[in-house]
Amino acid sequence: MSMLCRSVRWGLRATVLIMAIMAAVARADDAGATISVAHARSLFLLRCAGCHQIDGAGHPQVGVPSMRNTLGYFPASAAGRAFLVQVPGARNAAITDAELAALTNWELQSFSKAQLPPDFIAYSEQEVRQSRANPPLDIAASRAAILRDLQEKGVLPHEAYQRLTGTH
């Protein structure tokens, strides 16, 4: 069995286990509620870790990008900032806008804090609601354009650009 298959199987098993544990945890249904760091992390484990892995490393070789030391570059542009909550896995997740804001903030702080712009402002529920309502028509083309723009502006180092685009 390939390493990728074992990783995916492990990720699925972990997700099922976490879902069972989380069934016992009260959910913050009030859209105005403050989402705890623990709840944001549990959302990552339930909604994202199956593909992106528990450590955020993803599976770049099969199109699941790593979040590690790369995610924090995106908020340096308005388009990149919106993109993080517009990707299908985030935009279509059955979670509230407040939860997606907390989840995205947690991912950025956990996997790519050093790459965040110095003037980074945390995502808000309202910002997520607006971005989710206006997704790009072509996710891949939007991501490519954002990465090119970030590299041209000198925000995204060449090595990170190569890692994110799969070019060498």
Q: What is the pLDDT of residues 117-145, one digit of tens each?
A: 999 999 999 999 999 999 999 999 999 99
- Predicted confidence (pLDDT) at residue 14 exceeds the cutoff of 90: no
DSSP 92-141: TSSS-HHHHHHHHHHHHHHH-GGGS-TT-----HHHHHHHHHS--S-HHH
- Predicted confidence (pLDDT) at residue 57 exceeds the cutoff of 90: yes
Report all structural domains of the chain as residue ranges with CATH numbers, in order of start.
Answer: 3-165 (1.10.760.10)
Asked which of 7-11, 75-79, 122-126, 140-144 is least confident by mean pLDDT, the reply is 7-11
Closest residue by Cα to residue 107 from 128, 137, 126: 128
pLDDT band at 22 (very low <50, low <70, confident <90, very high): low
pLDDT at 119: 95
Rounded mean pLDDT, 64-92: 95
Residue-wise pLDDT tens digits, 148-163: 999 999 999 999 998 8
Between residues 56 and 23, which one has the greater pLDDT? 56
Closest residue by Cα to residue 71 from 127, 147, 19, 149: 147
Rounded mean pLDDT, 4-26: 58
pLDDT band at 7 (very low <50, low <70, confident <90, very high): low
